[in-house]
Structure formats: C-alpha cells, structure tokens
C-alpha cells in the first residue's frame, strides 16, 4: 500500500470537496414514492451534488466543534475519491484513470428530513468534514465496490455498509458529474453516505474505517471548548 498524509487545502487536496446525495440504494428505498410527490416531483436526472465548503475541512485527530444549537450529528462515514486529472464530459474508463487515490471522509451532518433545498446549516458548519488520514494510491485498491465502510462512536461499530450499494459506482459517478461540472486535480468526491449513519454528540469520539484506508478518528466537542 502506498499512502501519503492528506492535509485539507494542501497540494493533494487543493480543490473542492463535493458530496453526492441519493447515491446509496438505501436512500432511494427510504424515500420510496415520496420522490415523485411534492416538492421533489421525480427522481433527479443526474448526480445531485452538495459542497463541503473549505471551512468544514479538517484533518484526522482535529476536534469537530458542535454548535450550541445542535444536539446530535450523523457520523457520515464515507469513501473519498481524490482526482488527479481534469474530467470534462468524460467516459467511465477515462474517469477511472483520473483517480489519484482514496481516503476516508466523515460527512458530519445535522439530521434533517427535507431534501428540497441545499443543506448549508446542516452540512457546512466549521469542522464538519474530517478527511484522512492518508491518500492511498488508486492502484492499491482496484475495486472499491468490494469495500465495507464502518462508522464508530466511542469505539463501538454502530453501522457498516458495503460500497456495492452505490447507485452509481465510483467511476460512473465521476463520469456523470463531469457531464455538467468538471472535476479538477485536487478535488475530492464523497461517493455516498448511508441514511443509517449513526448519531453522536459533543463528548463522543467518532471514527470511520475502511479496510486498507486506515482509521479517521475525531472527537466531537462543544463549540468554544475546542481551543482551535
């Protein structure tokens, strides 16, 4: 395994961090026919992205501040894909060869039901996107669909899911995104988050694991107590 340490905003991770909604089959199953009702009016025709803004991105081991208006957050254990070559309206094979490597992401999210508007207050709080600890070379993980993602709260595995549950497998997802939004070297794509992501609150230690990618562990602290 070839792995180098990742630092948000550093040379390997200099671009955007995008997440993808509705890319885990269980998300669609839960919604059921609601996706055809108001206000959604039908399944989206392409990948639905959200942004984990620069203020959210922190490294492994850094504390996640939990704001005073937030009781609990979801531990959004996920696979992160880092891009090394620009993708614009790319095919699946081109997308696959543009992957620099993989890392772990915790897409920390305030629980919310409505998917109608973009969830800034739920997903873009300071420190809500731990990333790391390292970037594992794409050549070392030829088939990410075989991997299992595990979410831990205080050392206990609370949820796990397999990446064969992705609606769009990794390379297909990148290719489909690049139909309307180019991906650039240093961008990171969170390929999907399970709707069963466990809850945690200030005082808890949370972690994400995928075999071969190590462990991404962070402590949740009340905002103001994190001594940033």
Partner 1 sequence: MKRARIAFEGRVQQAWEDNGRVRLSDGRRLEETEVVWLPPVMPGTILALGLNYADHAAEIASQAPEEPMVFLKGANTLVGHRAFTPRPDDATNMHYECELAIVIGKLARNVARADAYDYIAGYTVANDYAVRNYLEGIYRPNFRIKSRDNCTPIGPWLVDAADIADPMNLRLTTRVNGEITQEGSTREMIFDVPFLIEYFSAFMTLQPGDLILTGTPKGTVNVMPGDEVITEIEGLGALHNTIISRKP
Task: Find out whether 149 and 79 touch, Cβ atoms under 8 Å.
Answer: yes
Size of residue set near partner 1 by CB under 8 A = 41
Count CB atoms within 10 A of the CB of residue 130.
Answer: 28
Residues 45-64 as x/- pattern, contact with partner 1 by CB under 8 A: xxxxxxx-xxxx--------
222 in contact with partner 1 (CB under 8 A): no
Q: Least Å distance between CB 208 and partner 1?
A: 22
Count CB atoms within 10 A of the CB of residue 162.
Answer: 11
Q: Least Å distance between CB 90 and partner 1?
A: 12
For residue 9, give the 3-state DSSP assignment: coil
Q: Which is nearer to partner 1, 47 or 198 (CB)?
A: 47
41 in contact with partner 1 (CB under 8 A): yes
User: What are the residues whose beta carbons fall under 8 Å from the beta carbon of 138, sequence distance 6 or more?
Assistant: 99, 100, 101, 102
Q: Least Å distance between CB 210 and partner 1?
A: 26
Q: Which of 66, 77, 32, 46 is nearest to 198 (CA)?
A: 77
Task: Find out whether 138 and 98 touch, Cβ atoms under 8 Å.
Answer: no
- Which one of 13, 18, 82, 198 is in contact with partner 1 (CB under 8 A)? 18
15 in contact with partner 1 (CB under 8 A): yes
- Which one of 40, 72, 96, 199 is in contact with partner 1 (CB under 8 A)? 40
Q: What distances in angstroms separate CA 224 from CA 64, 66, 68, 86, 220, one per listed residue? A: 11, 9, 9, 39, 12
Where do we find the tokens 């880092």?
A: 82
Q: Of residues 94-113, which lie at the interface with partner 1 (CB under 8 A)?
A: none
Q: Which is nearer to partner 1, 49 or 199 (CB)?
A: 49
Report the distance separating Cα 31 and Cα 34, nearest Å: 5
120 in contact with partner 1 (CB under 8 A): yes
Residues 169-188 as x/- pattern, contact with partner 1 by CB under 8 A: --------x--xxxxx----
Interface residue list for partner 1 (CB under 8 A): 15-16, 18, 21-22, 35, 38-42, 44-51, 53-56, 67, 88, 115-121, 124-126, 177, 180-184
């Amino acid at each position: 395994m070839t792995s180098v340490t990742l630092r948000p905003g550093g040379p390997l991770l200099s671009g955007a961090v995008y997440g993808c909604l509705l890319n885990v089959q269980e998300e669609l199953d839960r919604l059921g026919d609601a996706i055809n009702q108001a206000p959604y009016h039908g399944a989206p025709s392409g990948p639905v992205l959200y942004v984990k803004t620069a203020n959210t991105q922190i490294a492994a081991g850094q504390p996640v501040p939990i704001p005073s208006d937030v009781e609990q957050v979801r531990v959004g254990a996920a696979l992160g894909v880092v891009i090394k070559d620009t993708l614009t309206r790319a095919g699946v094979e081109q997308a696959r060869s543009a992957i620099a490597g993989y890392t772990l992401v915790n897409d920390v999210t305030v629980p919310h039901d409505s998917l109608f508007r973009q969830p800034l207050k739920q997903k873009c709080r300071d420190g809500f996107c731990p990333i790391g600890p390292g970037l594992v070379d794409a050549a070392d993980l030829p088939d990410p669909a075989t991997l299992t993602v595990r979410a831990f709260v205080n050392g206990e595995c609370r949820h796990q899911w397999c990446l064969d549950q992705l609606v769009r497998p990794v390379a297909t997802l990148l290719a489909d995104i690049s139909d309307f939004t180019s991906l650039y070297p240093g961008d990171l794509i969170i390929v999907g988050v399970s709707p069963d992501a466990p809850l945690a609150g200030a005082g808890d230690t949370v972690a994400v694991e995928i075999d071969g990618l190590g462990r991404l562990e962070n402590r949740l602290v009340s905002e103001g107590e994190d001594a940033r």
